[in-house]
Structure 1
Amino acid sequence: MEATSSSCPVMLVTQAITNLEKCKSMTELRQIHALMIKTNLVANTFAASKLVSFCCLSGGLDHAVSVFHRIQNPNPFIYFTLIKCFTDSSNPLESISLYAHMLTCLEDWKGVEFSLPSVLKACGKIKAFDEGQQVHGQILKTHFLFDPFVANSVIRMYLEFGRVEFARQVFDEMPERDVISWNSMITGYLREGDVELARGLFDEMPGRDLVSYNAMIDGYGKCGKCELAEEIFGMTSQKDVKTWTSMISAYLHNHYPKKALDMFREMLCLGIQPDAPALVSVLSAIADLGFIEEGKWIHAYISTKKIKMSNGFIGSALIDMYAKCGHLENAFHVFRSISHKRNIGDWNSMISGLAIHGLGTVALEVFHDMERMDIEPDEITFLGLLGACSHGGLVDEGQHCFKLMQEKYKIVPKVQHYGCIIDLLGRAGHLEDALGVLQNMPFEADVLAWKAILSASIKHENAAAGENAALRAIELAPEDSSCYVLLSNIYAKAGRWDDVAKIRSMMKQRTVGKIPGCSSILVKGKVHIFLVGKAMDENCTDEVLSKIKDVVSRLKFEGYEPDLTQVLLDVEEEGKESLLSLHSEKMALAFGLINTSHGAPIHIVKNLRICRDCHSFIKLVSRVYNRRIVVRDQNRFHHFENGFCSCKEYW
């Protein structure tokens, strides 16, 4: 670095500042520091404060602290610079300590208010409630509450603590509120799920900005009030990318993936460039729908725009989308293409993707690669691994993973992990062991744990355990129709028709509707949806029913016998066979056979678990009609080819 021969302090300071502004590395910064020591510029408060500031900006926090300790009389600005830097670091507690030190060292508190927002933010970050209240008390004794930056920081701090009532008290007592004050309170109420109070403040606001609208759209979406999110979206005359992303996320959160995809298309048509959260949301929507063409187009868009895969977990979302659309090779291709910059989300998406395809052994191999690369797994990693072991029947491996997460990685299992172990044991027929895990969990079992017992009981024909599990599940989730349906099925299999009638009556009284079976298939760029016995969007029902009749006749020559035990209604056998032929996946399959070229693969997405009869039926179709058929049901993928299924009868 160039030295100056001038003895003028002003010129020395100016030259030092100029050198700092040109500085590009910590090595150069240390050279400037050495020059400032040599010329005694470190005694100049302004020059020293700039040095501290540039150290912080360059990531040299330790160096900034060493400079600070050599300043004889640091002013509030120097304290502020270091306090702000610590607040944004991994050690925000130090900023609180530094603030307390400043108060004892300064003769007066002029300029202290500049540090208050950072100190309050630090208190919020580390949940230092007592210290935060002490700072608030100090503010109340001064004029600082009249500073909107300080007052808004107090509000945000209390909201970080989850003490919305304290924040509201500060808000109500503010001498003057700005739009940030209103938006902070609205966001705080929405975070707590209190949409009524949030909407009240929104309607009362003297002047809303785009942040206000976006917060309400996002809040309504997360609270399950999608129609109100649409209302706010419609009220917004000026929309930015956050507005569109919030609405797309609201649709996705409320299980309207097609609406999310349609809104994304509209956004692009208007020339609005999607941000990373928008792309992640639309990829999730496509994953929910299960059809690949749109996903490939989004992938091409990301590549064309040169958007980094690591940006906002886009790589993870692509892997997840391809896996859930049944294209594991594409998922692996994305996974391999980001090998040098994978984050934990990429690994988790790949493991979870393999899990839903029943490839437990491959998922474990990916996990071992992860370990060899010293990537620290998290709780989501083990949820994916346990799910993979469960779907693959890998009981010993699953139990080993459950032990490994606790002993090696010190991850405390949550109720979801216990649910996976219960499912793993139950699927494999170890029902007593599964019940033992459930009863010995360190917390109360949730509805998913009881539903895992219920499913295992039905699979392994333990009616007593199934009935008990169903009743417990209904008690925990009285709005979940599947629990009633499965209990009704247990009674129907036992011929307890009076009990079946009681369950139906209970559902009617509680206004719990049975979710209808629904299957969809993408043909020539259009999604076709089928319910039991009918098409939703086409005048093709008669043609499809006729095709099913032909297929059934042909399959019977090949040994197909309808599994009448899958019809749990008190009807004659002929009626049962007719009802079986109307299942939505058979309708979708028949439509695919009619409308796709011979030998072309058929992809079907079903919203419920595939029944045993449909499973046997589709296996035989794959051989007789020489088709590769992929069915994604509620739980996993089934790849049918040449009369075999990838699940190996384990689902």
Structure 2
Amino acid sequence: MATATSGPVLLLTNQTVSMLDKCKTMSEMSQIHAHMIKTNLVTHTKAITKLITFCTLSGCLDYALLVFDRIQNPNAFIFHKLIKAFSESLNSFESVILYAHMLSSLEELQGVEFCLPSVLKACGKSLAFKEGQQVLGHILKTHLWFDPFVTNSVVRMYLDFGEIELARCVFDKMPTRDLISWNSLITGYLRAGEIELARGLFEEMPERDLVSCNAMIDGYGKQGRCELAEEIFRMMTVKDVVTWTSLISAYVFNQRPREALHSFRDMLSLGVQPDAPAIVSVLSAIADLGFVEEGKWMHSYMSTNKISIWSGFIGSALIDMYAKCGQIDNAFHVFRSISHRRNIGDWNSIITGLALHGLGHEAINVFLDMESVELKPDDITFLGLLSACNHAGLVEEGQLYFEIMQAKYKIVPKIQHYGCIIDLFARSGSLEEALGIICEMPVEPDRLTWKAVLSASMKHGNLATGEIAALRAIKLAPEDSSCYVLLSNIYAKAGRWNDVANIRLIMKQNRVRKIPGCSSILVDGKVHEFLVGKKIDEEYNGEVLSKLEEVVSKLKSEGYEPDLSQVLLDIEDDGKESLLNLHSEKMALAFGLLNTRSGNPIHIVKNLRICCDCHCFMNLVSNVYNHQIIVRDQNRFHHFENGSCSCKDYW
């Protein structure tokens, strides 16, 4: 390629480069390119290099490649720019092709080491194993084998291939290792789920930095080893925002939301500013807890510290949090406030939230709005939509959208989608149709699919189908106590007490323990938990039981009759009524009545499905005591107000 040496050409080149510096759009750039063609500046290194650089930075790689193909003798710098840009694109293999072109066309390969990390990255991304081996062969024949920047990239390439043994082999033979070498291999082990290999390497390290420790905390968390993540965290003398975020995420991932929230508050008290992933994790923790006071505090913190809800997935997480804390109106408010910047996650969060509240028609309307703005729904969108139809009993609509998902949007149903449509039929009493779908679907039914049929069999008193579903579910998940309990309940409803006793014996022999009903309520910033028959913290037990007796007495005077059929034990009626009165959600409600002003809502979170008697009980209390009662059970929300529930007795 010629260089601009004469005065007029140099001036023209400098003017063109200056124009490219000020250029902001590809439209402007194409006009400058046309000018360069007319003035023959496309043969001058400085101008054409600037042009290709602009294209790569703008993401217009196809255009850059067209320009490059017309350069007679491209230099190493131009090759480097294109190789790096393509290695980070979806068409990463183009980097490998360009690298081969560079090797064959340049006489001097000075600076090739700057291209190699990008080429190796491209091989890893595009799973070009053969080409990666060839690049490594070239490296081994040159001084580049002694460059840790290059050899670290070889290790990462093999990890991208999933070849952890080859990555370790390269690591062991590296002439020079630095912290990046150790951290790359540790991260690769963790990504592959090889937690013990990562741990062994971590303990071998001659020195560690934040990257090493943060990677181990994150890896332990994703493997369910929170105690080891905490151990690393405690031993660290220096912690950054990534450290705290990794620990918080580990707690959230392992269903320990309280520890996540406590760690977040500790982080703030030390003056560490949270990043977007930390905010998302904490919002997820609050959503798991289900207490809106914490969520409102978090939202206020974000507003005070000018943390944008458009950053990362914060908007989606905020919508999800409000929905799971029973505040669907607030979730909608957030959704509306980001009307011009909504992503697919925001739409999915609000549809899923509406489903959780049994608002099937509203979820369908949101979906239609989504189609009207020509945003393509994904499999998560339809999972939320089918769930919304399920919770609202919209059988025909559920069938329609199950078909639309496949016919219009070419989305192949996953087991979760089949589970929703099976539950929709089973819950509505169409057990034969549900079983028909199970027989026809191309994937094997999982535990949740059979549990849906089992639960519906229990509801509709279908003993034969219930037995089949229970045995299939137990075979798939012998440790899941709910399968045994549901089958035991079906037998109890049929008066088959010997079979009930046999199920309990099997559970005992298999060391399967029934999950006790537990309900939580947040009062004055403190979470109070109640188990069936007792309070975990005994401090208020006497008061709660006394209040509960008063409520039961008052409701009976209003016509309440305990539904003794909900106690599936072979005992006298008096004993059954006593057991009903000690259900955890009633205990939590009594505590709420003691500590909540009249007219204020009472929020209760329960770990299991609310029973029919407690549902009727909540309805009456909402009317007699003038309280809105919001209960989140295992499946959905129930909003009790003025003697009726939002679920319309369909749950």
Q: For this structure pair, what is the TM-score category when the shorter chain's length is used for normalisation? A: over 0.9
Q: Which region of structure 1 is more displaced relative to structure 2, 37-46 or 117-126?
A: 37-46
Tell me the SS of whatever aligns to 1:312: coil
Using a 3 Å threshold, how does the CA distance of structure 1 residues 167 and 498 change in structure 2: closer, same or farther?
farther
Tell me the SS of whatever aligns to 1:340: coil
Distance across 2 between alignment mates of 1:304 and 1:319? 19
Q: Does 1:391 align with 2:373?
A: no
State the TM-score, normalizing by the size of structure 2.
0.94
Q: Does 1:189 align with 2:189?
A: yes
**Aligned residue number for residue 71 of structure 1:** 71
**Aligned residue number for residue 531 of structure 1:** 531
Deviation at 1:32, TM superposition (A): 5.5
Q: Does 1:155 align with 2:173?
A: no
Deviation at 1:554, TM superposition (A): 1.7
**Aligned residue number for residue 374 of structure 1:** 374
Deviation at 1:290, TM superposition (A): 0.9
Using a 3 Å threshold, how does the CA distance of structure 1 residues 135 and 452 change in structure 2: closer, same or farther?
farther
Distance across 1 between alignment mates of 2:171 and 2:511? 42
Q: Does 1:620 align with 2:637?
A: no
Aligned AA for 1:272?
V
Using a 3 Å threshold, how does the CA distance of structure 1 residues 193 and 498 change in structure 2: closer, same or farther?
farther
CA deviation vs aligned residue, 1:483-504 (integer Å, no higher than 9, x gap): 2222222233333444333433
Contact 1:630 1:638 in 2 (8 A): yes
Tell me the SS of whatever aligns to 1:458: helix
Distance across 2 between alignment mates of 1:438 and 1:128? 40
CA deviation vs aligned residue, 1:77-128 (integer Å, no higher than 9, x gap): 2112111112222322322322233333234544333222222222332333
**Aligned residue number for residue 601 of structure 1:** 601
Mapping of residues 320-359 of structure 1, within 5 Å: 320-359=320-359
Mapping of residues 484-523 of structure 1, within 5 Å: 484-523=484-523
Distance across 2 between alignment mates of 1:123 and 1:494? 64
Mapping of residues 437-452 of structure 1, within 5 Å: 437-452=437-452
Q: Which region of structure 1 is more displaced relative to structure 2, 87-96 or 19-28?
A: 19-28
Mapping of residues 57-206 of structure 1, within 5 Å: 57-107=57-107, 109-206=109-206
Distance across 2 between alignment mates of 1:279 and 1:146? 42
Deviation at 1:151, TM superposition (A): 2.0
Distance across 1 between alignment mates of 2:258 and 2:435? 39
Distance across 2 between alignment mates of 1:386 and 1:130? 45
Mapping of residues 465-480 of structure 1, within 5 Å: 465-480=465-480
Contact 1:291 1:325 in 2 (8 A): yes
Q: Does 1:541 align with 2:541?
A: yes
**Aligned residue number for residue 261 of structure 2:** 261
Aligned AA for 1:232?
I
Tell me the SS of whatever aligns to 2:301: helix
Q: Does 1:640 align with 2:640?
A: yes
Distance across 2 between alignment mates of 1:180 and 1:11? 45
Distance across 2 between alignment mates of 1:129 and 1:447? 39
Deviation at 1:471, TM superposition (A): 1.9
**Aligned residue number for residue 232 of structure 2:** 232
Deviation at 1:525, TM superposition (A): 2.5
Using a 3 Å threshold, how does the CA distance of structure 1 residues 507 and 58 change in structure 2: closer, same or farther?
same
Using a 3 Å threshold, how does the CA distance of structure 1 residues 138 and 431 change in structure 2: closer, same or farther?
farther
CA deviation vs aligned residue, 1:112-166 (integer Å, no higher than 9, x gap): 3322222222233233344434434444444433322222222222322333233
Deviation at 1:167, TM superposition (A): 2.1
**Aligned residue number for residue 416 of structure 2:** 416
> Would you say how many aligned residue pairs link Structure 1 and Structure 2?
648
Distance across 2 between alignment mates of 1:403 and 1:556? 48
CA deviation vs aligned residue, 1:313-352 (integer Å, no higher than 9, x gap): 1111111111111111111110000001100000000000
Using a 3 Å threshold, how does the CA distance of structure 1 residues 447 and 138 change in structure 2: closer, same or farther?
farther
Aligned AA for 1:254?
N
Q: Aligned-pair RMSD on alpha carbons?
A: 2.3
Deviation at 1:178, TM superposition (A): 1.8
**Aligned residue number for residue 570 of structure 2:** 570
Distance across 1 between alignment mates of 2:538 and 2:11? 82
Contact 1:310 1:343 in 2 (8 A): no
Tell me the SS of whatever aligns to 1:341: coil
**Aligned residue number for residue 273 of structure 2:** 273
CA deviation vs aligned residue, 1:405-458 (integer Å, no higher than 9, x gap): 111111111111111111111111111111111122212111111111111111
Gap regions ≥5 residues in structure 2: none
Using a 3 Å threshold, how does the CA distance of structure 1 residues 460 and 162 change in structure 2: closer, same or farther?
farther
Distance across 2 between alignment mates of 1:26 and 1:382? 37
Distance across 2 between alignment mates of 1:243 and 1:218? 9
Deviation at 1:75, TM superposition (A): 2.2
CA deviation vs aligned residue, 1:192-245 (integer Å, no higher than 9, x gap): 222111111111111111111111111111111111111111111111111101
Deviation at 1:618, TM superposition (A): 1.1
Aligned AA for 1:561?
E
Gap regions ≥5 residues in structure 1: none
Q: Which region of structure 1 is more displaced relative to structure 2, 420-429 or 13-22?
A: 13-22
Q: Does 1:212 align with 2:227?
A: no
Seq. identity, %? 71
Deviation at 1:291, TM superposition (A): 0.9
Q: Does 1:464 align with 2:464?
A: yes
Distance across 1 between alignment mates of 2:101 and 2:438? 52
Aligned AA for 1:437?
I
**Aligned residue number for residue 54 of structure 1:** 54
Using a 3 Å threshold, how does the CA distance of structure 1 residues 193 and 512 change in structure 2: closer, same or farther?
farther
Deviation at 1:513, TM superposition (A): 2.5
Q: Which region of structure 1 is more displaced relative to structure 2, 301-310 or 316-325?
A: 301-310
Deviation at 1:188, TM superposition (A): 1.7
Q: Which region of structure 1 is more displaced relative to structure 2, 385-394 or 111-120?
A: 111-120
Contact 1:6 1:12 in 2 (8 A): no
Tell me the SS of whatever aligns to 1:311: coil
Contact 1:519 1:605 in 2 (8 A): yes
Deviation at 1:374, TM superposition (A): 0.2
Distance across 1 between alignment mates of 2:20 and 2:329? 51
Q: Which region of structure 1 is more displaced relative to structure 2, 13-22 or 81-90?
A: 13-22
**Aligned residue number for residue 551 of structure 1:** 551
Q: Does 1:400 align with 2:412?
A: no
Using a 3 Å threshold, how does the CA distance of structure 1 residues 217 and 510 change in structure 2: closer, same or farther?
farther
Distance across 2 between alignment mates of 1:378 and 1:23? 37
Deviation at 1:20, TM superposition (A): 4.6
Aligned AA for 2:274?
P
Using a 3 Å threshold, how does the CA distance of structure 1 residues 316 and 486 change in structure 2: closer, same or farther?
same
Tell me the SS of whatever aligns to 2:412: coil
Distance across 2 between alignment mates of 1:135 and 1:568? 70
Distance across 1 between alignment mates of 2:245 and 2:71? 48
Using a 3 Å threshold, how does the CA distance of structure 1 residues 508 and 132 change in structure 2: closer, same or farther?
farther
Contact 1:488 1:500 in 2 (8 A): yes
Using a 3 Å threshold, how does the CA distance of structure 1 residues 616 and 122 change in structure 2: closer, same or farther?
same
Q: Does 1:298 align with 2:323?
A: no
Aligned AA for 1:545?
L
Tell me the SS of whatever aligns to 2:312: helix
Distance across 2 between alignment mates of 1:315 and 1:456? 36
Using a 3 Å threshold, how does the CA distance of structure 1 residues 440 and 158 change in structure 2: closer, same or farther?
farther
Distance across 1 between alignment mates of 2:504 and 2:172? 51
Tell me the SS of whatever aligns to 1:504: helix
State the TM-score, normalizing by the size of structure 1.
0.94
Distance across 2 between alignment mates of 1:442 and 1:167? 38
Using a 3 Å threshold, how does the CA distance of structure 1 residues 442 and 142 change in structure 2: closer, same or farther?
farther
Using a 3 Å threshold, how does the CA distance of structure 1 residues 100 and 529 change in structure 2: closer, same or farther?
same
Deviation at 1:9, TM superposition (A): 7.5
